[in-house]
Structure 1
Amino acid sequence: MTAFPQEPMSRRHMLKGLGVCLSLPLLDAMIPSAYARPSTFKAWTQSAGKHPRMICCYVPNGVNILEWVPATSGKSYQLSPTLSALKEHQREFSVISGVGHPSSKGGHAGADTWLTGADLSAVPGSDYANTVSADQIVAEHHGKQTRFPSLQISDASGTGSAGHSHTLSFDRSGTPMPAENSAQRLFERLFVPETKAGKQATLKRYAERKSILDSVLSDANALNQKLGKKDQQKLDEYFNSVRETEQRVTRLESWIDVPKPKVDPVGLQLNSQSGNAHDRPMWIDVMLEISYLAFATDTTRVITFEWSREAGGYGGGGENHHELSHHGGDAGMLNKLAVIDRFHLSKLARFMTLLKSTQEAGSNMLDKTIVMYGSGMNSGKGGEHSPKNLPTLIAGGQQLGLKQGQHLSFDVEKHPPLSNLLLSMIQAMGVETDRFQDSTSTLTGLV
C-alpha cells in the first residue's frame, strides 16, 4: 500500500529544496486527489441568525450541458448524470433550464453580467458599461443591520478587468466591488478582534480615505462646471460611486467598537491558496465554511462567490477548466468537463448540508438561505460560449416562499430572461420592487 505524505507536496517546494530551476514531471505524490486532506470543519447545532440570506455561487466556463440538463421536467423529473452529485438534496433545489440574458453577448464576460443582466455595450461611445447587480439591491435593504452589507469572494482579489471581472457585485453606478481571495484575511476581517492599536490604525485609515474622497469630490465639482451635458452625466455616475464609498466607510466606522462574533477557527484550512491547483478543493471548502459562519453569526446576509474567474479555474484534480470548455464537441474533453462539474457540485452539496444541519427558529438555515449556483455562459454542444440556456440551480429559501424539488424547463429560444429569477430572489429577500433590469415578472413556477 502506498503511504501518502501528511503534508501537501508541491513542485515549488521540491525545487526549492533541491536548489534548482528545472521543471519536474508530475509525480504521484503531487496529484491532489491522492492526499488532499478533507475538511474537518463541523456545522454548528444552532444559528445566531434568523433573517433571510442569499449567496450567489458562480462557476466559469459553462458546463457539459449534455450531462447537466435533466431529460424530464416538473416535480417528478429524474436527475441528470451531473446533477446526481446533489441527489441527497433533490427536494431542496430546483433546476432551471432554458433561461439566459437576452442583452448579454456571451463569451467570457459572463461573470460581469450574471447578476446584472446588462448590455455592456449599451452606452454609445463606451466599450463597457455595467449596471447594479441583484445582490446589491438586497444589500441596500439588509445591510444597515449587519457589520458588512455584503461580502465579495473570488479566486482572484480585487476587481479584475472589464469583461474578465474578479467580482460578481456592481454598485448603483455599475462600478465593480473588489473581492477577497484569501481565507486567512477574510476570517480575520470577520471574526478576529482588533487590538486597541489596530482600531486606531483602522480609524486613521478610514480618515485618510475620507480625506481623499473629499479631495476627489472637490476637484470633480470644479471640473463639472466646464463639461458638456454628456460628460456631466458620466461625472454624476462617478459622484454616486464616490458617495457610496463614503457611506461604506462611515458604516465601518460605526461598527468599530462593536465586538466581533467569537468564532473558533478549528477545522478551517485558512492557508489554502486559491491559485494553487492542489489547494483547489480545500480553498472552495474553506471559503464556503467562512460564508456559512458569516451567515450563522449574522455578520452579513448577502454574499457573492466567484469560484473562479472566467477563462480560468481548476478541477478537483488540477485540470485546466478553461481549456476543456473549448471542447469543440470532443467526447473526451466533454467527459473531463463533466468530471469538473460534478466536483463543483459536490462542494455545493457539502455547503447545503452545513446549512441544513444547523437549527434556526424551528427550522434550519437552508430554509431561510437562498443559494443561487450557475454560470453566465453555456459552452454548449460545440464549445460556443453562448448566453442562452445558462446552467442554473436555485436552492433553499423554502421558508421565504421558493418552491423546490423540480425542474423548470423553458424554451431556449423563447425563454423568460434570467432577470425574472433574480427578481424572484430579490422579492423573497424582502425587497419591495416589481422590476429588475429586463425582467417581465417573477419566474413562473418558482414562487
Structure 2
Amino acid sequence: MKRLNRRHILRGAGVALALPFLDAMSPWEISSALAAESKFRPRAESTIVQPRVVFCYVPNGVNILQWQPKEVGPNYTLSPTLKVLEEIRDDFTVVSGLGHPRCTGGHSGADTWLTGADLRSVPGKDYANSLSVDQLIAESLGTETRFASQQWSDQSGTGSAGHSHTLSFDRNGTPLPAEDSPKRIFERLFVPESAGDREATLRRYAERRSVLDNVLEESKRLARRIGKEDQRKLDEYMGSVRSTEQRIERLESWIDRPKPSVDPPLLQLAMQPHNAHDRPMWIDVMLELAYLSFITDSTRVISFEWSREAGGFGGGGENHHELSHHGGDAGMLEKLATIDRFHLERLKRFLGFLRQTRESDGSMLDRTIVVFGSGMNSGEGGDHSPKNLPLLVAGGSKLGLRHNRHVHFESEKSPPLSNLLLELTQRIGIETDSFSDATGASILSA
C-alpha cells in the first residue's frame, strides 16, 4: 500500500483541505482484521530498574455483594468476582471500607478518585478540584522521562465538570486532557520524527512560549489594579500558565533525543473504545501501551480511565451505567458482576506482562504499583456513594508492599482513601507527609 505524508492536503478551486488521518499515512501497517487475537507478548527482561505507578479506573462501581470478601486478613476467601484473580492472589491486596468523606458521590467519581476534593469547597464556584496524586508523584518521577505522566481515557480531552474524561489534575485543580486513541498514543511515544517534524514542533513551542511571555507580562500590570481576592484568583491562573511553560521546556529538552524502538505490527492500534466489537481489545491494547511505556521508560506515571462515569460497556457491549442503577434487581446485579469479571480479566492479563518480565532481582511488577478501582459504590440498591469504594492494589513488593490480604475498615469509621494514596506515594520514594485530606499513611502497613 502506498504511504502518504501525514500533512497531505487536497487542492482544488483555490482551496486547500487537510485530509483526516488515514491508515495510508501511518508508518506501520494496520491489520484489516479488527479484534483478532493479540500477538503481543511481553519482553523477557527490563533493564530499567525504577518505581512506576498506574491508576486504572472503572466507572459506575461494582456489584459489591459479589466483589467484597467476607473474611479479613491473610487467610481470606476470594469473593465470587475476585476468583478471576485466584492464580495471582499473592500479588495483590483487596482494600474495602475506604472512601472520600468530602465528596458527594454521584457521577463525579472520576473527578475525585485521585484528589479526594470537595468540589464545592470554594464559595461562589460550582466546581473546584485539587492536585491529583498521580501528578504529585509525577513531579518527582517524571523529571527523568520524556513524558512526566500519561493521561488516557475512552474519551479524549477533559470532559466536563463532574463528568471528567481524565483522572489527573494539576496543583490548581485544572484537568489534564486525556487521549483515547491507541494510534495517537503510539505515535506520541514511539514514532520517530523527521527533521521537518522537529522544526515544526520547535516553532510551535516558540509560539506558545511567546504567548505565555505576553500573558505573564500583562498579568504583572493587571495585578497592580485588582483587589486581594482577585489577586488570589489571578495567582491560581498564573500557576497553570507557569506549569504549561515548564512542560514546554521539558519537551524541548527531549526534541533531539531518539524515541525508543517498538514493533508496531504486534499492536492493534485501530481499536475504537466505543465499538462493542473492539471494546475488549481496545482495553488490552491500551494496557499493552502502558507496559511498553514502562519498559522503555517513556513515562513512570499513568492514569487510565477505562470509561467515563455514566458510561461504559461490558465485554459483550452491555450498558454498564444502566446496570449500575440496578435497584437491587438480581438479574441486573448478576450482569454487573459479569462486567466486573470482564474488567478483572483485562487487569490480570496486564499484571501477567509485568510478572513475566524479569527486572534485577525480581520482576517488573515488583517495582510497579497498580491501583485498580472506582470512585463510586453502587451499593445494594444502586445508590452512587463515595463510601466503601472497590479497590485493589497490586505489585510493589520491592517497594515494601505485602499482599495476599483483605484489608477492611468499617466505612462509617474508616480513614479517608487519601491515606492510602499518601502511603503509596511514600512507598514510591517521595518524601511528603501530606496529601489532600489524609490523616496518616498506614493503610497497607497496618
TM-score (norm 2): 0.91
Aligned length: 413
State the secondary structure of the residue aligned to 1:125.
Answer: coil
Counterpart of 2:298 in structure 1: which amino acid?
Answer: T
Structure 1, residues 282-307: CA drift from partner, whole Å, max 9, x if none? Answer: 11000000000000011111000000
Question: Equivalents in 2 of 1:343, 1:305: separation in Å?
Answer: 17
Question: Equivalents in 2 of 1:265, 1:48: separation in Å?
Answer: 21
Is 1:312 the counterpart of 2:276 in the alignment?
no
* Shift of residue 37, structure 1, vs aligned partner: 2.5
Question: Equivalents in 2 of 1:279, 1:235: separation in Å?
Answer: 45
Equivalent residue, structure 2, for 1:333: 332
Equivalent residue, structure 2, for 1:402: 401
Q: Relative to structure 1, is the Cα distance of residues 446 and 38 closer, same or farther in structure 2, using a 3 angstrom cutoff? A: farther
Equivalent residue, structure 2, for 1:23: none
Question: Equivalents in 2 of 1:213, 1:277: separation in Å?
Answer: 42
Question: Equivalents in 2 of 1:443, 1:272: separation in Å?
Answer: 40
Equivalent residue, structure 2, for 1:3: none
Matched ranges for 1:202-351 at <5 A: 202-351=201-350
Equivalent residue, structure 1, for 2:6: none
> Is the CA contact 2:63–2:336 (under 8 Å) kept in the aligned structure 1?
yes
Structure 1, residues 204-256: CA drift from partner, whole Å, max 9, x if none? Answer: 11111112222222333332222221111011011011100100011000000
Equivalent residue, structure 2, for 1:191: 190
Alignment gaps of 5+ in structure 1: 1-34
Question: Equivalents in 2 of 1:427, 1:65: separation in Å?
Answer: 29
Counterpart of 1:285 in structure 2: which amino acid?
Answer: D
State the secondary structure of the residue aligned to 2:378.
Answer: coil
Question: Equivalents in 2 of 1:310, 1:48: separation in Å?
Answer: 37
* Shift of residue 267, structure 1, vs aligned partner: 1.9
> Is the CA contact 1:48–1:298 (under 8 Å) kept in the aligned structure 2?
no
In terms of mean alpha carbon deviation, does 391-400 or 216-225 score higher?
216-225
State the secondary structure of the residue aligned to 1:407.
Answer: strand
Equivalent residue, structure 2, for 1:437: 436
RMSD: 1.1
Equivalent residue, structure 1, for 2:122: 123
> Is the CA contact 1:404–1:446 (under 8 Å) kept in the aligned structure 2?
no
Equivalent residue, structure 2, for 1:16: none
Question: Equivalents in 2 of 1:392, 1:344: separation in Å?
Answer: 13
Is 1:133 the counterpart of 2:155 in the alignment?
no
> Is the CA contact 1:368–1:396 (under 8 Å) kept in the aligned structure 2?
yes
Question: Equivalents in 2 of 1:223, 1:165: separation in Å?
Answer: 32
Question: Equivalents in 2 of 1:255, 1:102: separation in Å?
Answer: 41
Equivalent residue, structure 2, for 1:384: 383
Question: Equivalents in 2 of 1:210, 1:372: separation in Å?
Answer: 36
Question: Equivalents in 2 of 1:79, 1:137: separation in Å?
Answer: 33
Structure 1, residues 79-102: CA drift from partner, whole Å, max 9, x if none? Answer: 001111111110000000000001
TM-score (norm 1): 0.91
Equivalent residue, structure 2, for 1:163: 162
> Is the CA contact 2:76–2:405 (under 8 Å) kept in the aligned structure 1?
yes
Counterpart of 1:353 in structure 2: which amino acid?
Answer: G
Question: Equivalents in 2 of 1:263, 1:121: separation in Å?
Answer: 45
Is 1:173 the counterpart of 2:172 in the alignment?
yes
Counterpart of 2:136 in structure 1: which amino acid?
Answer: I
Question: Equivalents in 1 of 2:117, 2:222: separation in Å?
Answer: 29
> Is the CA contact 2:35–2:268 (under 8 Å) kept in the aligned structure 1?
no
State the secondary structure of the residue aligned to 1:79.
Answer: coil
State the secondary structure of the residue aligned to 2:93.
Answer: strand
Question: Equivalents in 2 of 1:423, 1:244: separation in Å?
Answer: 23
> Is the CA contact 2:423–2:443 (under 8 Å) kept in the aligned structure 1?
no
Equivalent residue, structure 2, for 1:360: 359
| Percentage identity across paired residues of the two chains | 64
State the secondary structure of the residue aligned to 1:266.
Answer: helix
Structure 1, residues 384-408: CA drift from partner, whole Å, max 9, x if none? Answer: 1000000000000010011111000
* Shift of residue 36, structure 1, vs aligned partner: 4.5
Structure 1, residues 122-156: CA drift from partner, whole Å, max 9, x if none? Answer: 11111111110101111011111110110000001
> Is the CA contact 2:420–2:444 (under 8 Å) kept in the aligned structure 1?
no
Question: Equivalents in 1 of 2:48, 2:217: separation in Å?
Answer: 42
> Is the CA contact 1:175–1:241 (under 8 Å) kept in the aligned structure 2?
yes
Question: Equivalents in 1 of 2:120, 2:73: separation in Å?
Answer: 37
Alignment gaps of 5+ in structure 2: 1-33
> Is the CA contact 1:277–1:318 (under 8 Å) kept in the aligned structure 2?
yes
Is 1:370 the counterpart of 2:349 in the alignment?
no
In terms of mean alpha carbon deviation, does 321-330 or 434-443 score higher?
434-443
Matched ranges for 1:103-122 at <5 A: 103-122=102-121
Equivalent residue, structure 1, for 2:46: 47
Structure 1, residues 422-447: CA drift from partner, whole Å, max 9, x if none? Answer: 01110011100111111111133447
Question: Equivalents in 2 of 1:398, 1:74: separation in Å?
Answer: 18
